[in-house]
Each structure stands twice: as C-alpha cells, then as structure tokens.
Amino acid sequence: MKTVTTKSAGDDEDKLVGRQVGAYQINRLLATGGMARIYEGVDTSLGRPVAVKVLKTEDISSDPTLAKRFQREAKAIARLEHDHIIPIYHYGEDGGLRYLVMKLIDGKDLAQEILRLRRKGQKMDVGYALDILRQIASAIDFAHENGVVHRDIKPSNILIDRHGRAVLTDFGLVLQNKFDSTQTQGTAFGTPRYIAPEQALASQNAVPQSDIYALAVILYEILTGEAPFTGDTAMEIALGHIGDPPRPPRSLNSKIPAAAEKELLKALEKEPARRHPTARAFIEAVRVAYQREAPDAVKTLNTPVSPSNPTPVFAEPPKIVADPNLESWDMDGSTNKLEPATPQEKKRRKPAPLLIAVAGGVALLVIWTIVYWLSNPAPNRITMWYDDQSLIIYNGYDRDFNTFKWQFIRGVDGQGNDDYSGDRVDEDMIPAGECYILRNFGFDLSLPGQCKGLHNYEELQNPQRFFWRTEPVDVSSFEVYYDRQLIAQCPTVRAGEQQTCSFAEPVPES
C-alpha cells in the first residue's frame, strides 16, 4: 500500500520547543486548540514561568479573520483585570509568529476533572461545582460589564489551580459589545455542545445571556452526567439547542431539587431575555435552591480546597526512550519490528525444515492479513492502526462520526489517568473518510493512503494516557465504549509491535 507523508497541522510550531520567541524561552507543548498552540515557557528577563499561546501560521492564509481575532483576544484580556480571568503579560510578533503570553496556571481544567469522575462512575460534589462556577460567573459578569461576550464558555476553558481557584481563559472568540460583529455575520463560532440557540444561528447574535446559557449547559452536565442535547453531527446538536426542549434534569437525577431544576431550565430558555440577567444571579439562584431543599448536598460550599497531594496538569511526564535495537515501520507494514534475541534463544537448536516452512506460511498469512486490512478497511466501521508511538483512527462511514460518546479504557490504576474520552476530538466529530491521530509528542508518521484527509491530531506527552500500550501498567487489552456500552476489546501493543482493531457503532435500541 502506498503511504502518503503529510505535514501535520502545527509542524512549524512543534519546532518552537527549545527556541526563543521574543523574550520567552519555549520549553514544551501544553495543548493545541482550533487556532493556536499553547506552550510552557520562561520569561528570560524575569525568570518566571509563563504560558505562550502561538497562532497557527499555516491557518492564517485559509482564514484571514484569525489574526484579527487573535489580536482582539489579546486586547480584550488585557483590559479585563479580574481575579478569575487569565492575566495577560504580553502580545507580540516575532519572525511572522503572533504570540500571546499569559500566566501559567498550575492545576487542571474542569473538563479533566469531569472526565476523571465520569471514569469512576461518579458526579462532582455539588458544593464544589457551585463554588467553581460562582467564581467563573463573577468573571463572566465582569467581562460583560466591560462590553465583552466570551462566546466559548466550556469546561476546557475553565482552569482550576491547586488551591481551588478557578480562572476563565481562551477569549479567542470574544465579541466586543453587541455592535461589533466583524467577520462573523452568517457564521456560527463556538462549541456545539455549549452553544446558545441565538449564537448557533449566527455569532453576531451573541449577547451576555449566551454565555449564561453555556454556563447552564456545564452545570446541567455536572448535575446529571448527560448533555442536554446530543446528536450524530454538530448540526444535529446545534438544532437541538435551537428548537428542542432540554430533558428535565430531574428525569436524569432525582436528587436535584425542584427549585434548582427550575432555575437551570430558566437559564436554558431559547429566548435570551427569559434567562437570568447575570451569571452570578443564575448560580446564586441554584445555590439558594439547594440550601433550602438539599442542604447536605452543598455542605462543602465555601470549604477551602486542600492543596495537599495536588496533581498539576502540566507535571513533567516520564520520558519514553526508544530502543535503538528496534527498527522503524511504515504504515503499509512493509518493515517488521523484531526484538533482538536473548542469549538463551541463541543457544536453542534450529527448528526442523518442515517447522520453518509452516512458520513461514503462518507469517506470510499474518503479513498478508495486515496489509489487506491496511489497504481495505471495512466500510461502515471504525478502523484503528497503532504501534507504540501513535494511533490512527479512520472513519469508514459515509457520514461524520460523532466521537463525543466514545471512551477508551485500559483502566487499572484507579486514578482516571489512563483513559481517553472522545469529546477531546475537535468538534466532537471525525468527517467521513478522514482520520484522527493520537501520537507521542514530536513523533512523525505517514498518513495511510485511504485517509481522505487528516481531520486533526493530538499529541499525548504522558505514557499513562497511551491507552493502546501494554506498558507501563502491563495490561493486554483496552476496552472501547460508546454511549457507556462496551463495543470492542482491542489488544494493546508493546514496544516494537503494531496492531489493527476495527469495530462498528452500536445499533440504537428501539
């Protein structure tokens, strides 16, 4: 099979690690987003750690609004000095790179915390959740008071430091007052799962209550464990926000007080004018409802978060050292990795010729099978090709595949550090015929020829998140879930191995 080497989005920015941009030394990649990549760095003049957000240069030509939006983000945050809004230190350009320097938050984002609990089948403590969202509500209201609508409120944009202080970040889609609709007319920017109905129609329709709606979706998910609107495509989810009533929260969690449900549904009203006037008013109304009807559920509200045993999201990951005795392999399987023989193996007697012939036949059959599957992935199935450094997910359906309900679990450490949730995939979708890649940081690979395109990729720096690897927890397989239903069990790989695993989306129950 012919392999096509592609230049992954962000390859130029990968080369920034170890370099200096302006007065900032770039140390390592922290995260990737729709329009930028975020690095951990150091201010060489002051010696303090910073987060450096660099605009993806290869996207500017295809979207001329990116540079303006990026600069608008810098200006918007710069004038929003608030305890719960990410502080900005500097905005600049260097050799054609546009970058934004911010405070480095030592902690995790809310999405990671929700996923960690979901992995254990648990929900977040209500008091703790309301305390986090109350902090963010104050940031949202402060932005609104200064003429800024965020337009992309979601769990991954809420950072929580080791002391329990929440910070709102990623103002890349800000709308500066309702009259500023530059370059957004007729376009819906935002994340489908959290987008308000008016914003789903067109981004210039966003108003302060649009951010309150998104905040309500977050709280709905925390309290019920489900999203108010789901679908197989981004359009289906958006149409749900626009025209469908949300499922009553108490139908999913009977422990939610009736008064809290009423406030939650009010914040999810289709008409912005029918929602709460401020984000703080919304969270406060829910808090009062709980304290009146279920005080035990919020007894941790205002309880200081213990900084003991913190788990910084940006902790230095263990290094993966490649074995120099192992060969590399192409995605067509033309080169096999063979582990070197041990001294004991070298002393063994040579096998009989017949045994050699049988073994050779089996090996040829295995190789043919691998090549066949790589060249001819089954239609209407998801196919994964993976080795110890990368995993490629191919959408063999003739439609976009919704990844939000996916979860991959190797799961033996009990800490939620070794699973992967599909809602991390950009836009919760893999388009028909396209591929999505998970890879070790800095690892380059070829894209299989049957992939019509590369939807996106994610670099995982912590081996604990390589759910398809046998090491370091010595597990022979991982499980694939869809909508909490087990649909496949796939073998893990050791260093030097490669595997293919294919499965279908479960048929909805009638």
Can you tell me the distance from the alpha carbon of 417 to that of 413, in angstroms, rounded to the nearest whole number? 8
> Bigger pLDDT: 55 or 335?
55
Which pLDDT value is given to residue 174?
55
Catalytic annotation, pick one of 109, 131, 152, 387: 152
Q: Which domains does the chain have, with CATH numbers?
A: 3-103 (3.30.200.20), 107-298 (1.10.510.10), 317-510 (no CATH)
pLDDT digit string, tens, across residues 318-346: 222 222 332 222 222 222 222 333 334 33
Q: Residue 487: pLDDT above 80?
A: yes
Can you tell me the distance from the alpha carbon of 58 to that of 454, in angstroms, rounded to the nearest whole number? 15
Provide the 10 A C-beta neighbour count for residue 500.
Answer: 18
Can you tell me the distance from the alpha carbon of 366 to that of 346, in angstroms, rounded to the nearest whole number? 24
Q: What is the mean pLDDT of residues 440-469?
A: 75
Q: Is 455 in contact with 426 (CB distance < 8 Å)?
A: yes
423 is catalytic: no
Start-to-end Cα distance in the chain: 41
pLDDT digit string, tens, across residues 164-207: 899 998 875 556 554 344 443 334 466 889 999 999 888 788 89
> What is the pLDDT confidence band of residue 223, given thresholds at 50, 70 and 90?
very high
> Bigger pLDDT: 356 or 240?
240
Q: Is 227 in contact with 257 (CB distance < 8 Å)?
A: no
pTM for this prediction = 0.59
Helices (H) and strands (E) in the chain, counts: 13, 24
Which pLDDT value is given to residue 37?
83
How far is C-alpha 460 from the geometric centre of its chain's CA atoms? Answer: 11
SS3 221: helix
Which pLDDT value is given to residue 289?
95
pLDDT digit string, tens, across residues 89-104: 888 888 878 888 999 9
